[in-house]
Chain A
Amino acid sequence: MKLFVSIFLLLMSVMTVVGENRFPKPQFEKGYSIPVTSAPEARSLMLDRLDVVVLFSALSLATWLVLKKRSRRGIFLLTIFSVIYFGFWRKGCICSIGAIQNVTLWLADSQYALPVGAAAFFILPLIFSLLFGRVFCAAVCPLGTIQDLMILFPVSVPRFLSCILSMIPYIYLGLGVLFASIGSAFVICRLDPFVPLFRFSGDLPIVLFGAVLLLAGIFVARPYCRFMCPFSVLLNWTSRLSKWHATITPDECVKCRLCEKSCPFDAILIPNTGQVSEPRGKGVDRLKIILLLLPVLVIAGGWSTSRLDVIFSRSNPSVQLAEAFQKNDQSKLKIMKYELEAFEGGKASKEDLYAQADIFRKKFRTGGWLFGGFIGAVFGCTLIGFSIKRTRDSYEPDRGTCLSCARCFMSCPKEHKRLGV
């Protein structure tokens, strides 16, 4: 009996390989028509195009409101619109922050098609930032705007702490690019704290992370934007080059100090002409040391992160499986039983798997050098930035970190004069 069943099953499996159906299509007598398999369509292309149009319009409107109209109320209304449209309606995906990874993958993988929507969400904010400053952050980015609505009692973050914390975005950006280009894993999307909120569902740790950030945001204004967001790095760089950036005063600064406390992001630079400057020679010497230190930092960073190749490569399941085979780790193989099943059902041999794992490790070795070198360079350049003193004789927004939110405008007496209040 058992033999009969096994022969029957064997025959069946042979039939599948041949491609015949085991059970023939029935011949209905009563005129039954076979229903069509339902295949609901994906979100229409028109809606995707609409998103890009809305993004462009929102950026233009934000620019006009900040630079021409100088209206905080307008920015606030646009903020609410962005939270609703880009957040709750579009479910926060695809966003500009995540689009970094799509662009990276497009550069790294010749088989990946970059959707136009993702490209537009990446390019448009950067172009606007090059021209007008970070108007995208001010009122368009869904992640930024939802935090912006939470700013109730902003406190000033101590300078040394904000300097240390503002290194995180560089590391996050580097890791995001590294994994998108090699592991094809989108780390930035995975750790996105606010998308679960927009969708009303998600993993508990991420939801809690988002909730903590929102609550912290009541006091520390926009914690994600300032101390985590990887896109903020690119916006910071481009905004420093911006042609027309928002100014605190519509006129000439009278140094009345009224705007000093108006920025919740500590992005107002105070004049330093009155300060006693140190002798010039001392500063030059320090700069020389840091410039000599820069290559050392780059190499040290690159070397240390390239050592992490084995750990980084474990993010890939096939590397994990290869390691479990090589170490004959039975408990790991038990955990990966489905991966094992899929591998055994496939055509690849163990040697193929090992070769693939080696390729991943090598890629992470090279990528580690680049990533670590980048972080080293960022540290060095930050130190150089500290040791170069620029003289300022008026209150100015820090072009890199100013989010063009328009909060400081009304604290300026010249603004009151302009409006005739």
Chain B
Amino acid sequence: MRNILRGSLLAALAAFGGLVTVRRRCALPGGADKGRACGNCPERIRCNSAFSWLARPSNSRRTVWQLDPAKCIQCGRCATNCVLQDSAVKCVHRFEMCGYCKLCFGFFQPGASVLTSAAENQMCPTGAIRRKFLEDPYYEYTIDESLCIGCGKCVKTCSAFGNGSLVLQVRHDRCVNCNDCSIARHCPAGAYRRVPAEEPYLFKPMSGAAKG
């Protein structure tokens, strides 16, 4: 009795392990799966694989947490809800989208009297954005990640009035990839999701003007 029970449990566990580790190949002619996740396959309905009923996102993938800037409302909870002392979420500057404005909405307070980098003029509470003169009228803005707390204040104004080149992202050199992400739990917009570790960042698609 015990032997049968033990044997069947071992077989079940081994089968489960095999199911998870073996990467199922697409059985459709032409192959919809080009190394992509089986479970997200749009062709699942006419799939003729013997395992189609088990179709799950490819399990050999590893996932990490990321926030979707398209859903993010910059509430500021990323700064306070990470399990790490300094949040793993930082503001990231996408230079290729930036307008290099002299009056940067992410850098200056709305009512800044003069456009200098004096603390009272800055949007960033920790002064993590560095402003450097390039040539008239362009300025380069860089983020000092050691100072950034991920509050998203600059992101809010940059996406409201500017090009939206500042985005909040989970930085994977800091993130400890908790099984139960504490920020995801507190995110009011449901912007956090697990993404494949090979493509761990979610940037907004580039607009045509910025590409050219």
Interface residues of A, Cβ cutoff 8 Å to B: 12, 16, 19-26, 28-30, 32, 34-43, 45, 48, 91, 93-94, 98-99, 101-102, 106, 110-120, 123, 126-127, 130-131, 185-186, 189-190, 196, 199, 201-203, 238, 241-243, 317-318, 336, 338-339, 341-342, 345-346
Q: Do A115 and B13 contact each other (CB < 8 Å), given the known contacts A91-B176, A189-B179?
A: no
Which of B2, B85, B177, B188 is within 8 Å of A317, CB to CB? B188
Which of B57, B60, B138, B161 is within 8 Å of A28, CB to CB? B138
Contact indicator B207/A201 (Cβ below 8 Å): no
The distance in angstroms between the C-alpha atoms of A336 and B73, with both chains bound, is 13
Contact indicator B10/A123 (Cβ below 8 Å): no
Residue of B nearest to A237 (CB): B9
Can you sample 20 A-B contacts with CB below 8 Å?
A22-B162, A26-B138, A28-B135, A28-B138, A32-B134, A35-B142, A42-B177, A93-B176, A93-B179, A101-B180, A113-B39, A113-B57, A126-B13, A131-B10, A199-B83, A199-B176, A201-B83, A339-B189, A342-B71, A345-B189
Q: Do A21 and B73 contact each other (CB < 8 Å), given the known contacts A37-B95, A116-B20, A119-B17?
A: no
- Within 8 Å CB of A339, what residues of B? 188-189
Q: Judge whether B121 is part of the interface by a CB distance below 8 angstroms.
A: no
Which of B6, B176, B177, B180 is within 8 Å of A243, CB to CB? B6
Residue of B nearest to A196 (CB): B83
The segment from B27-35, B112-120, B194-202 found at the interface with A is B194-202
Contact indicator A45/B190 (Cβ below 8 Å): no
Report A356 CB to chain B, min CB distance, Å.
11
Q: Judge whether B5 is part of the interface by a CB distance below 8 angstroms.
A: yes
Report A86 CB to chain B, min CB distance, Å.
14
- Within 8 Å CB of B6, what residues of A? 130, 241-243
Report A41 CB to chain B, min CB distance, Å.
6
Q: Judge whether B109 is part of the interface by a CB distance below 8 angstroms.
A: no
> How many cross-chain pairs have Cβ atoms below 8 Å apart between A and B?
191
Contact indicator A30/B134 (Cβ below 8 Å): yes
Which of A19, A38, A41, A91 is within 8 Å of B208, CB to CB? A19
Contact indicator B99/A21 (Cβ below 8 Å): yes
Residue of B nearest to A37 (CB): B94
Chain B, interface size category, equals 35 or more
Residue of B nearest to A24 (CB): B209
Which of A37, A131, A189 is within 8 Å of B96, CB to CB? A37
Query: Which secondary structure dominates chain B's binding surface?
Result: loop
Q: Do A42 and B197 contact each other (CB < 8 Å), given the known contacts A106-B56, A114-B56, A341-B188?
A: yes
Q: Do A20 and B209 contact each other (CB < 8 Å), given the known contacts A40-B173, A243-B6, A342-B190?
A: yes
The distance in angstroms between the C-alpha atoms of A273 and B155, with both chains bound, is 75
Which of A24, A25, A106, A123 is within 8 Å of B17, CB to CB? A123
Which of B58, B75, B161, B163 is within 8 Å of A21, CB to CB? B163
Q: Do A98 and B179 contact each other (CB < 8 Å), given the known contacts A34-B95, A106-B56, A199-B84?
A: yes
Contact indicator B75/A338 (Cβ below 8 Å): yes
Residue of A nearest to B207 (CB): A19
Q: Do A22 and B61 contact each other (CB < 8 Å), given the known contacts A341-B75, A342-B71?
A: no
Q: Judge whether B129 is part of the interface by a CB distance below 8 angstroms.
A: no
Report A294 CB to chain B, min CB distance, Å.
20
The 7 closest A-B pairs by CB, nearest first: A23-B99, A186-B180, A342-B189, A113-B57, A189-B180, A338-B188, A40-B173
The distance in angstroms between the C-alpha atoms of A38 and B94, with both chains bound, is 8
The distance in angstroms between the C-alpha atoms of A302 and B5, with both chains bound, is 27
Contact indicator B209/A21 (Cβ below 8 Å): yes
Q: Do A98 and B180 contact each other (CB < 8 Å), given the known contacts A25-B209, A113-B58, A119-B21?
A: yes
Report B163 CB to chain A, min CB distance, Å.
5
Contact indicator A22/B2 (Cβ below 8 Å): no
Report A51 CB to chain B, min CB distance, Å.
11
Residue of A nearest to B61 (CB): A113
Q: Do A116 and B60 contact each other (CB < 8 Å), given the known contacts A32-B135, A185-B185?
A: yes
Q: Judge whether B45 is part of the interface by a CB distance below 8 angstroms.
A: no
- Within 8 Å CB of A345, what residues of B? 73, 189
Contact indicator B10/A130 (Cβ below 8 Å): yes
- Within 8 Å CB of A99, what residues of B? 179
Contact indicator A241/B5 (Cβ below 8 Å): yes
Q: Judge whether B124 is part of the interface by a CB distance below 8 angstroms.
A: no
The distance in angstroms between the C-alpha atoms of A141 and B180, with both chains bound, is 19
Q: Do A21 and B207 contact each other (CB < 8 Å), given the known contacts A34-B96, A113-B57, A341-B75?
A: yes
Q: Judge whether B178 is part of the interface by a CB distance below 8 angstroms.
A: yes
Contact indicator A42/B64 (Cβ below 8 Å): yes
Contact indicator A110/B39 (Cβ below 8 Å): yes
Which of A28, A123, A190 is within 8 Å of B13, CB to CB? A123
- Within 8 Å CB of B17, what residues of A? 119-120, 123
